[in-house]
């Protein structure tokens, strides 16, 4: 089959709508399809363009992709078969000490010419003082929300790359941390299976928008 250049571009550049409407949670994967480290890093780097509180980017990704480690993870994740079938399972983590990278982050912002040096320095200092003084529960909440932001972008980016995903909250957190040497510095946000779909996801429904969106005042009850 001859494919024209424009069709090639088309295939490489799905529309936003196609990606958002085409994303469904997929639980059955083609076990023969693996992703290279380069491609996984591309997907994660694009996911990490998501915004975060003060741009602290507290997300970290533990990519589990060997057969041995996926087999180790499966019983920890309610024995869900996608854990071993998917090309990789990404453990999305929130780094509770992520804000300590503020100097590094703002130094780069300054180097790129996006911010004068004095402002960058003052932003970095203020961020470290602010996040360092927050009660742990408040800091953890920020890390979980930022973890949600990056996870959604990750699932969409994967779909744009021609892959599918399923987010999983059903796992034993203590066993996960023990099995993969994840210290208390990191909060597991979710697991995301990533791979080539073998079967399409089961379609789901959504609540009517009238149940979700309120204009200017909350509903009576």
The footprint of a second copy on residues 20-49 (CB under 8 A) is 20-21, 23, 25, 37, 40-41, 44-46, 48-49
Residue range at the interface with a second copy (CB under 8 A); choices 18-26, 28-36, 76-84: 18-26
Which of 1/209 has CB closer to a second copy?
Answer: 209
- Judged by beta carbon, residue 23 or residue 121, the one nearer a second copy is 23
**What is the per-residue burial (b if ≥16 Cβ within 10 Å, else e) of 65-87?**
beeebbebbbebbeebebbbbbb
Which residue of 33, 100, 115, 128 would you call a contact of a second copy, by CB under 8 A? 115
Compute CA distances 68 → 55, 86, 90, 132, 219, whole Å: 35, 13, 15, 38, 51
162-201 footprint of a second copy as x/- string (CB under 8 A): ----xx-x----------xxxx--x--xx-----------
Does residue 139 belong to the site contacting a second copy (CB under 8 A)? no
> Of the candidates 83, 150, 158, 193, which one interacts with a second copy according to CB under 8 A?
150
Q: Return the residue of 35, 124, 156, 194 that touches a second copy, per CB under 8 A.
A: 156
Q: Rounded CA gap, 208 and 219, in Å? A: 15
| Footprint (CB under 8 A) of a second copy, residues 119-138 | none
CB 102, min distance to a second copy, A:
11
Which is closer to a second copy, CB of 21 or CB of 199?
21
Backbone angles phi, psi at 73, to 5 degrees: -75, -35
- Return the residue of 32, 133, 136, 205 that touches a second copy, per CB under 8 A: 205
- Residue whose CB is less far from a second copy, 33 or 115: 115
3-class secondary structure, 60: strand
Instruction: Indicate whether 144 belongs to the interface with a second copy (CB under 8 A).
Output: yes
99, 51 Cβ separation under 8 angstroms: no
Query: Minimal CA–CA distance to 16: which of 159, 167, 148?
Result: 159
φ and ψ of 169, to 5 deg: -105, -10
* Inter-residue contact 52 to 92 (CB < 8 Å): no
Contact set for a second copy, span 71-100 (CB under 8 A)? none
Nearer to a second copy, 119 or 125 (CB): 119
The runs of H, that is alpha helices, within 86-207 are 102-111, 117-133, 136-160, 173-179
> What CA dihedral angle connects 172, 147, 24 and 45, to 10 degrees?
-120
Nearest approach, Cβ of residue 104 and a second copy (Å): 7
């Amino acid at each position: 089959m001859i494919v024209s250049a424009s069709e090639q571009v088309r295939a490489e550049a799905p529309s936003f709508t196609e990606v958002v409407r085409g994303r469904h949670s997929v639980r059955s994967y083609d076990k023969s399809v693996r992703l290279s480290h380069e491609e996984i890093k591309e997907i994660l780097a694009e996911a990490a363009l998501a915004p975060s509180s003060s741009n602290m980017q507290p997300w970290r990704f533990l990519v589990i992709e060997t057969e041995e480690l996926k087999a180790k993870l499966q019983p920890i994740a309610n024995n869900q078969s996608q854990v071993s079938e998917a090309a990789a399972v990404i453990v999305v983590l929130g780094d509770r000490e992520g804000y300590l990278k503020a100097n590094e982050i703002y130094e780069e912002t300054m180097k790129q010419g996006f911010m004068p040096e004095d402002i960058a320095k003052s932003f970095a200092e203020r961020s470290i003082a602010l996040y360092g003084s927050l009660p742990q529960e408040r800091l953890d909440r920020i890390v979980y929300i930022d973890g949600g932001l990056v996870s959604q972008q990750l699932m969409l980016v994967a779909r744009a790359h021609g892959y599918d995903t399923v987010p999983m909250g059903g796992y034993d957190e203590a066993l996960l941390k023990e099995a993969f040497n994840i210290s208390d510095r990191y909060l597991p946000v979710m697991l995301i299976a990533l791979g080539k779909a073998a079967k399409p996801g089961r379609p789901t429904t959504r609540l009517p928008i009238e149940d979700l969106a309120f204009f200017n005042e909350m509903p009576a009850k």
